[in-house]
């Protein structure tokens, strides 16, 4: 089967690899329909983070169940499923508390290769999200909306939930990548009245507005803080979604928050240390982490997509097939695409 492989920094190519097989009774084999490139893939693509060379890549997809292990009863061959990057077991303390991204029952074998024709998915019984019908029952746009539920829409939602966004709040969203843009959708879904998107790219500003942003702030650092404080009559935001992960972004997030607000962070932290004393002087809460993909998809997001209430699939601004996987990465790397879509099979 054909699958995308990381060869070395700057080089991803489609290679013929053996089709994966069931290894654990909790596994399922999926035939991938659509997959995509993630902003987080760029860390190893650019050589900023380490990744073993010659390994299959990708962690977001939708597909059709082809076969299941003996302990998988919730999905069966032929079912259409969202394949999250998380693999919650559904019954440990973390999963039961709604934090399936931190499942305490991981099997040690890392699952990779969502950007390929077939995928072995672990903890398939609970973690996979079944979608009604067949791919042909959905429009192209709907399939893209469903695909975002594998990661970016769920991660954006996790930022909003972690920041405790509630009705009529004023919310600041840091980051205009696909996750930040989905954070705008999530803030609106949770009833925010005013959504200030921090973005300095015109294509992303437009999409942020289409998703519900009421204000755009293009400045960064101290100028961004001044702009938000002035937009909020000196108060700061009721909730802040931090979807970048750099030191500057976290620092700005804390500074634009009003006293007592919570910063919900989903940007993967780039630096190990931060001065938490700044939180103390304004009673700021800081929480967040790996998204609860299966929990939030099941409880809120799948329904919102199926009803057509949200259209997160608009973050896919360029499409490719596996033979052009290298171009899909280049488009993301050069910011020519907000997010690159991969059409794997029809
Ligand atoms: Zn991702
Ligand atoms: Zn678990």
DSSP string, 161-181: HHTT--TT-EEEEE--SHHHH
Q: Which among 345, 346, 341, 344 has a CA at the least distance from the CA of 147?
A: 341
Strand partners, 316: 339
**Quick one: CA torsion of 46, 48, 52, 56, rounded to 10 degrees?**
-40
- Which ligand is closest to the CA of 89, given by its number? 2
Nearest ligand atom owner, CA of 59 = 1
Gap from CA of 119 to ligand 2 centroid (Å):
21
Residue 59 CA to ligand 1 center (angstroms) comes to 6
Among 38, 89, 11, 76, residue whose Cα is nearest residue 341: 38
Neighbours of ion ligand 1 (CB under 5 A): 38, 151
CA of 38 to the centre of ligand 1 (A): 4
pLDDT at 231: 97
Per the DSSP assignment, residues forming a β-bridge with 169 are none
Query: With contact defined as beta carbons under 8 Å apart, do 244 and 198 qualify?
Result: no
Residue 111, pLDDT score: 66
Q: Which domains does the chain have, with CATH numbers?
A: 2-151+292-343 (3.90.180.10), 155-288 (3.40.50.720)
Q: Are 242 and 187 in contact (CB under 8 A)?
A: no
| pLDDT of the residue at 107 | 66
Task: Identify the pLDDT of residue 270.
Answer: 77
Show the beta-strand stretches assigned E in the chain: 2-8, 11-16, 28-36, 55-56, 61-68, 80-83, 118-121, 129-131, 170-174, 194-198, 215-217, 237-242, 257-265, 285-288, 316-320, 339-343
Q: How far is the CA of 153 from the centre of ligand 1 (A)?
A: 10
In angstroms, what is the span from residue 92 Cα to ligand 2's centroid? 4
Which ligand is closest in space to the CA of residue 92?
2
> Residue 292 CA: which ligand is closest?
2
Distance 145 CA to ligand 2 centre (A): 26
Phi, psi angle pair for 145, to nearest 5° = -60, -45
| 118 CA to centre of ligand 2 in angstroms | 24
Distance 313 CA to ligand 1 centre (A): 14
Read off the DSSP letter of residue 91.
S
Q: Which ligand is nearest to the CA of 268?
A: 1
Distance from the alpha carbon of residue 161 to the mean position of ligand 2, in angstroms = 20
Residue 45 CA to ligand 1 center (angstroms) comes to 13
Provide the pLDDT for residue 269: 83
Q: Give the pair of three-digit tokens for residue 346.
A: 């029809």
Low-confidence ranges of the chain (pLDDT < 50): none
pLDDT of residue 300: 98
With H, G, I as helix, E, B as strand and everything else as coil, classify residue 123: coil
- Of the ligands numbered here, which is closest to the C-alpha atom of 39? 1
| Amino acid 276: pLDDT | 84
Neighbour tally for 129: CB within 10 Å: 23
Compute the distance from residue 107 Cα to the ligand 1 centre, in Å: 20
Distance 148 CA to ligand 1 centre (A): 9
Identify which ligand lies nearest to the alpha carbon of 87: 2
DSSP three-state, residue 320: strand
How many A from CA of 128 to the centre of ligand 2? 13
Q: Is the pTM of this model over 0.95?
A: yes
Separation of 226 CA from ligand 1 center, angstroms?
32
The total of other beta-carbon atoms located within 10 Å of residue 297's CB is 27
Q: How far is the CA of 108 from the centre of ligand 2 (A)?
A: 14
- Distance from residue 60's CA to the centre of ligand 1 (Å): 6
Neighbouring-strand partners of residue 83: 61
């Amino acid at each position: 089967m054909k699958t995308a492989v990381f060869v070395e920094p700057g080089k991803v190519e489609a290679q013929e690899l053996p089709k994966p097989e069931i290894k654990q009774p909790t596994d399922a084999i999926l035939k991938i329909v659509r997959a995509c490139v993630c902003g987080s893939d760029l860390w190893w693509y650019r050589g900023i983070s380490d990744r073993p060379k010659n390994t299959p890549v990708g962690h977001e997809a939708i597909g059709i169940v082809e076969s299941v292990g003996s302990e998988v009863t919730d999905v069966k061959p032929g079912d259409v499923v969202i394949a999250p990057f998380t693999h919650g077991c559904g019954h440990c303390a973390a999963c039961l508390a709604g934090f399936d991204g931190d499942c305490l029952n991981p099997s040690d074998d890392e699952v990779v290769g969502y950007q390929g024709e077939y995928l072995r998915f672990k903890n398939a019984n609970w973690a996979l999200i079944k979608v009604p019908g067949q791919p042909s029952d959905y429009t192209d746009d709907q399939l893209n909306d469903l695909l975002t539920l594998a990661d970016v829409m769920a991660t954006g939602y996790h930022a909003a939930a972690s920041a405790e966004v509630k009705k009529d709040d004023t919310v600041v969203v840091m980051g205009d990548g696909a996750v930040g843009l989905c954070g705008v959708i999530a803030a609106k879904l949770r009833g925010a009245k005013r959504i200030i998107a921090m973005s300095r790219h015109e294509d992303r500003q437009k999409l942020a507005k289409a998703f519900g942003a009421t204000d755009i702030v293009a400045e960064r650092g101290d100028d961004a803080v001044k702009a938000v404080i002035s937009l909020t009559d000196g108060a700061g935001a009721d909730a802040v979604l931090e979807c970048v992960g750099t030191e500057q972004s976290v620092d700005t997030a804390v500074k634009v928050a009003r006293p007592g607000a919570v910063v919900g962070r989903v940007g993967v932290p780039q630096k190990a240390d931060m001065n938490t004393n700044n939180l103390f002087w304004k009673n700021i809460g800081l929480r967040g982490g790996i998204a609860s993909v299966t929990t939030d998809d099941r409880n809120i997001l799948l329904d919102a997509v199926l009803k057509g209430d949200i259209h997160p699939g608009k973050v896919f601004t360029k499409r490719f097939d596996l033979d052009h996987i290298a171009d899909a990465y280049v488009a993301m790397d050069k910011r020519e695409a907000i997010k690159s879509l991969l059409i794997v099979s029809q």
